[in-house]
Amino acid sequence: MSTDELALLRRQLERERAARKQAEALLDEKLSELTIAKQRFSEGKLAETAIAESRELLLKIIDTVPARVFWKDPDLRFLGCNTAFAKDAGMSSRDDMIGKDDYQMVWAEQADFYRADDREVMASGTPRLHFEEQQTTASGETVWLRTSKIPLVNDANETFGVLGVYEDITEYRRIEADNRVHVAELTALNGMLIEAQNQMLRSVKMASVGRLAAGLAHEIDNPFAFISSNLEALKGQVTDLLSVLEAYEKAEPALAGHADFLTAIEQAKSTMNFSFVQRDILNLISESLDGVQRAKKIVATLKDFSRVDTAEWQLANLEKGLESTLNIVWSEIKYKAKIKKDYAGIPEIECLAPQLNQVFLNLVVNAAQAIDERGVIILRTGFDEHEVWVEVGDTGKGIESEDLERIFEPFFTTKPTGKGTGLGLSLANNIVRRHGGRLEARSKPGKGSVFRITLPRHRLMNKDES
Ligand SMILES: Nc1ncnc2c1ncn2[C@@H]1O[C@H](COP(=O)(O)OP(=O)(O)O)[C@@H](O)[C@H]1O
Ligand SMILES: [Mg+2]
């Protein structure tokens, strides 16, 4: 091989070597590009999974929130919601909601109402929080919601929808309403208890006033007894004195010759107004006797009546009881009512007389209170071989039939506070029942009422019970 040929061959070899080096470098470059691409690819994959995972988490969270959550686009179509909300709408999954609007929901009835709210919240850009509204459910019921609506705003400050959150407060409202009723009931009960306590205090007071009155009545009895017997005696003596004076007066003409005597007599007579005294003195005594008689009667009834707490069974005449009751309340009712009596002369029965007097008193007071201006109270009695009865009737305002069923309930009253306690008839009823009897009422509204107490003539109950 010539030197020229050899040099040519070497140059060619060098060219080829350089070309290979270049190709190798290119290959290297491509390889590293490939590695980078591969790396980028796997990074992208990772990010995608991360996004998917965080989306899952977010959905899990909104499904876990103990509330209904939804969001709508500016045209008020659902963009998304939690599962609970989809269930409220009667859908099986939240994806069924997407793109629909309220008109397509079970609550179409309320759609206009909800949408007006949504628009207002988006337009104003201010949330509307915790307001109450109604919703028709998938089962056709109407429930109460507490709702909040908040505008959805992006970073560029543009509103792109509205977010709604609500919870069902139907049960809560029901409990609240129940509670309100309970509170009202308790308040009423409390009022009743206070009234009952007052009533008890009053009756304790009445009982001690009663005892005081009984004591006083006993004390007054004595002086009244001697005042009246002295007055009787005085009346007799004054009558005698007057007849002696009369005899003297007849003898006056015999003193014609004794001018000094006559003048003295005339003078004494005219100073004391003799003829008037002569006419008036017996009247004075009679009136005083009358007054003492009346006072004695009052004292007697007071004694009778104030034995309320001595619960002893005794034979008593109920007509007498009526009379003494009438005496007690007479001063209060005389301006309103005339009393008509129709007594049958009922036989005595064994009873707790003071307690029955209390019953008569309650009935008579009620009768008087039922009369607006003027009327009549009718007391009537009767009996047969087994029973006796006493009726207290009036021409008062009467009792409406719906009230008639309730008047014996404790605390039932139609009278203003302070006037009625509603305990009178219930107490009366208890007393009558204790006697094995019954208390009945009949009434014609606007015309009047009649209360009848019927009692067995012979005691039915165990004597120890009282
Ligand atoms: N003679 C009557 N006429 C009309 N209503 C009556 C009569 N007696 C009782 N009532 C009715 O029955 C209610 C209960 O009576 P009562 O128990 O004595 O309580 P009170 O008199 O304190 O209201 C009265 O508020 C009244 O409405
Ligand atoms: Mg009463």
Kindly tell me if the per-residue pLDDT of 350 is higher than 50.
yes
Q: How far is residue 59's CA from residue 80's CA, in Å, rounded to a whole number?
A: 10
- Average pLDDT over every residue of 233-237: 95
Ligand with smallest separation from the Cα of 415 = 1
- Average pLDDT over every residue of 78-98: 93
pTM, rounded to two decimals: 0.44
- pLDDT classification of 293: cutoffs 50, 70, 90: confident
Tokens linked to 3: 């030197």
Kindly tell me if the per-residue pLDDT of 117 is higher than 90.
yes
Whether 412 contacts 435, CB under 8 Å: no
- Average pLDDT over every residue of 349-361: 90
Q: Is residue 83 situated within a structural domain?
A: yes
The verdict on 210 and 287 lying in the same domain is: yes
* Residue corresponding to tokens 């605390």: 411
C-alpha of residue 449 to centroid of ligand 1, in Å: 10
Whether 308 contacts 205, CB under 8 Å: no
C-alpha of residue 396 to centroid of ligand 1, in Å: 11
- pLDDT classification of 319: cutoffs 50, 70, 90: very high
Q: 320-329: per-residue pLDDT in tens?
A: 999 988 988 8
Taking 3-state DSSP, the helix, strand and coil percentages for the chain, each rounded to the nearest 5, stand at 60, 20, 25
Q: 156-170: per-residue pLDDT in tens?
A: 999 999 999 999 999
Whether 385 contacts 378, CB under 8 Å: no
Tokens linked to 30: 């491509």
* Residue corresponding to tokens 């009982």: 207
> Quick count: other Cβ atoms within 10 Å of Cβ 115?
16
Q: Which of 28-32, 73-77, 234-238, 407-411 comes out lowest in average pLDDT?
A: 407-411
Nearest CA residue ID for atom 12, ligand 1: 407
The verdict on 277 and 392 lying in the same domain is: no
> Quick count: other Cβ atoms within 10 Å of Cβ 79?
16
Tokens linked to 247: 């005899």
C-alpha of residue 366 to centroid of ligand 1, in Å: 6
Tokens linked to 292: 């003492």
Whether 325 contacts 360, CB under 8 Å: yes
Ligand with smallest separation from the Cα of 413 = 1
Q: What is the reported pLDDT for 305?
A: 56
Q: 214-224: per-residue pLDDT in tens?
A: 778 888 888 98
Closest CA to 137 of 116, 115, 176, 168: 168
Q: What is the reported pLDDT for 465?
A: 42
Pocket test for ligand 1, best of 377, 425, 426, 451 (most atoms within 8 A of CB): 425
Number of domains, the chain: 3
Ligand with smallest separation from the Cα of 407 = 1
Residues whose beta carbon lies within 6 Å of some atom of ligand 1 = 362, 366-367, 370, 394, 396-399, 403, 407, 412-415, 420-426, 449
> Quick count: other Cβ atoms within 10 Å of Cβ 370?
20
Residue 423 Cα: closest atom of ligand 1: 17
- pLDDT classification of 358: cutoffs 50, 70, 90: confident
Provide the CATH number for the domain around residue 80.
Answer: 3.30.450.20
Kindly tell me if the per-residue pLDDT of 4 is higher than 70.
yes
Residue 425 Cα: closest atom of ligand 1: 17
Q: How far is residue 165's CA from residue 69's CA, in Å, rounded to a whole number?
A: 5
- Average pLDDT over every residue of 433-457: 95
* Mean pLDDT for all residues in the chain: 89
> Quick count: other Cβ atoms within 10 Å of Cβ 333?
19
Q: What percent of the chain has pLDDT over 70?
A: 94
C-alpha of residue 248 to centroid of ligand 2, in Å: 65
The verdict on 302 and 398 lying in the same domain is: no
- Average pLDDT over every residue of 341-364: 93
Q: Which domain holds residue 342?
A: 310-466
Kindly tell me if the per-residue pLDDT of 445 is higher than 90.
yes
First vs last Cα of the chain: how many Å apart? 159
The verdict on 137 and 220 lying in the same domain is: no
Q: What angle do CA 292, 295, 301 make, to 5 degrees?
A: 140
Q: What is the reported pLDDT for 217?
A: 80
C-alpha of residue 411 to centroid of ligand 2, in Å: 10
The verdict on 292 and 315 lying in the same domain is: no
One DSSP character per residue, 136-181 reads E-TTS-EEEEEEEEEEEE-TTS-EEEEEEEEEE-HHHHHHHHHHHH
CB-count burial class (<10 Å; 0-12, 13-18, 19+) for 226: exposed
C-alpha of residue 381 to centroid of ligand 1, in Å: 21
Q: 127-155: per-residue pLDDT in tens?
A: 999 999 999 998 889 999 999 999 999 99
Q: Is residue 185 situated within a structural domain?
A: no
Where do the H-state alpha helices sit in 65-107? 83-88
Beta bridge partners of 456: 387
Kindly tell me if the per-residue pLDDT of 125 is higher than 50.
yes
The verdict on 301 and 448 lying in the same domain is: no
Q: 171-212: per-residue pLDDT in tens?
A: 999 999 999 999 988 988 888 888 788 777 766 766 676 677
C-alpha of residue 407 to centroid of ligand 1, in Å: 6
Q: What percent of the chain has pLDDT over 90?
A: 62
Q: Is residue 43 situated within a structural domain?
A: no
Pocket test for ligand 1, best of 336, 366, 379, 417 (most atoms within 8 A of CB): 366
Q: What is the reported pLDDT for 317?
A: 94
Amino acid code (one letter) for 428: A
The verdict on 296 and 217 lying in the same domain is: yes
Q: Which of 285, 308, 331 is the last residue of a domain?
A: 308
Provide the CATH number for the domain around residue 372.
Answer: 3.30.565.10
Q: What is the reported pLDDT for 21?
A: 94
CB-count burial class (<10 Å; 0-12, 13-18, 19+) for 349: buried
Q: What is the reported pLDDT for 461?
A: 55
Q: Is residue 316 situated within a structural domain?
A: yes
